[in-house]
Amino acid sequence: MRRYISRGVVWFGLFFLVVVLVAAQFWHSASYKQMVPSCTDALSMQQTSPMTSKDMRTVPPLYLGLDAYRHWDKLSYLEVGDRVEGWSSADPGGTNHDNKHIVRKLPNGERVLFDQVGPGIVTFMRMQQAIGAPWQLTVDDRTSTFSRNDLGQPDPTGPPSNAFAYPLSLNPDESHGSSILASAIPFEQKLTWTAYHDNGNFYALYRKLPYGTPLTAWNSQTDNSDVVRLLRCSGSDIAPGRISQQSGEFAPVGGTETSLVTLHGQQQIRALTLQVPARDMIELGNARLLIREFAF
Whether residue 58 lies inside any domain: the answer is: no
Neighbours of 73 (CB within 10 A): 21
Residues 209 and 251 in one domain: no
Whether residue 221 lies inside any domain: the answer is: yes
Whether residue 136 lies inside any domain: the answer is: yes
Whether residue 273 lies inside any domain: the answer is: yes
- Domain of 1 in residue numbering reads as 1-22+244-296
Residues 89 and 17 in one domain: no
Residues 93 and 12 in one domain: no
Residues 132 and 254 in one domain: no
Contacts within 8 Å (CB) and 24+ apart, 79-86: 82/207, 83/207, 83/208, 84/123, 84/205, 84/206, 84/207, 85/205, 85/206, 85/207, 85/208, 86/203, 86/204, 86/205, 86/206
Choosing from 188, 208, 231, the residue where a domain stops is 231
Whether residue 67 lies inside any domain: the answer is: no
User: What pLDDT does 14 receive?
Assistant: 30
Residues 103 and 126 in one domain: yes
Q: Residue 168 and residue 65: Cα distance in Å, rounded?
A: 12
User: What pLDDT does 244 receive?
Assistant: 79
Tell me how many domains the chain contains. 2
Residues 124 and 262 in one domain: no
Whether residue 97 lies inside any domain: the answer is: yes
User: What pLDDT does 115 receive?
Assistant: 97
Residues 221 and 97 in one domain: yes
User: What pLDDT does 17 receive?
Assistant: 29
Whether residue 56 lies inside any domain: the answer is: no
Angle (CA) 287 290 292, round 5°: 170
Q: Residue 240 and residue 53: Cα distance in Å, rounded?
A: 24
Neighbours of 69 (CB within 10 A): 22
Q: Residue 101 and residue 207: Cα distance in Å, rounded?
A: 21
User: What pLDDT does 40 receive?
Assistant: 59
Yes or no: say if 189 and 117 are a contact pair by the CB < 8 Å rule. Answer: yes
Residues 209 and 95 in one domain: yes
Angle (CA) 241 242 243, round 5°: 95
Whether residue 76 lies inside any domain: the answer is: no
User: What pLDDT does 56 receive?
Assistant: 56
Phi/psi for 184 (5° steps) reads -75, 130
Closest CA to 207 of 282, 137, 123: 123
| CATH code where residue 143 lies | 2.60.120
Per-residue pLDDT of the chain (296 residues; tens, 9 = 90+): 434 333 333 332 333 322 222 222 322 233 334 454 467 566 555 555 555 555 556 666 778 888 888 887 777 677 665 678 999 999 888 888 888 889 999 999 999 999 999 899 999 999 999 999 999 999 998 999 999 999 999 999 888 999 999 999 999 999 999 999 999 999 999 999 999 999 999 999 999 998 888 888 898 888 899 999 988 887 766 555 677 788 888 777 777 788 888 888 777 777 788 888 898 888 888 888 888 877 65
Yes or no: say if 182 and 171 are a contact pair by the CB < 8 Å rule. Answer: no
What contacts 164, CB < 8 A, 6 or more positions away?
150, 151, 153, 156, 181, 183
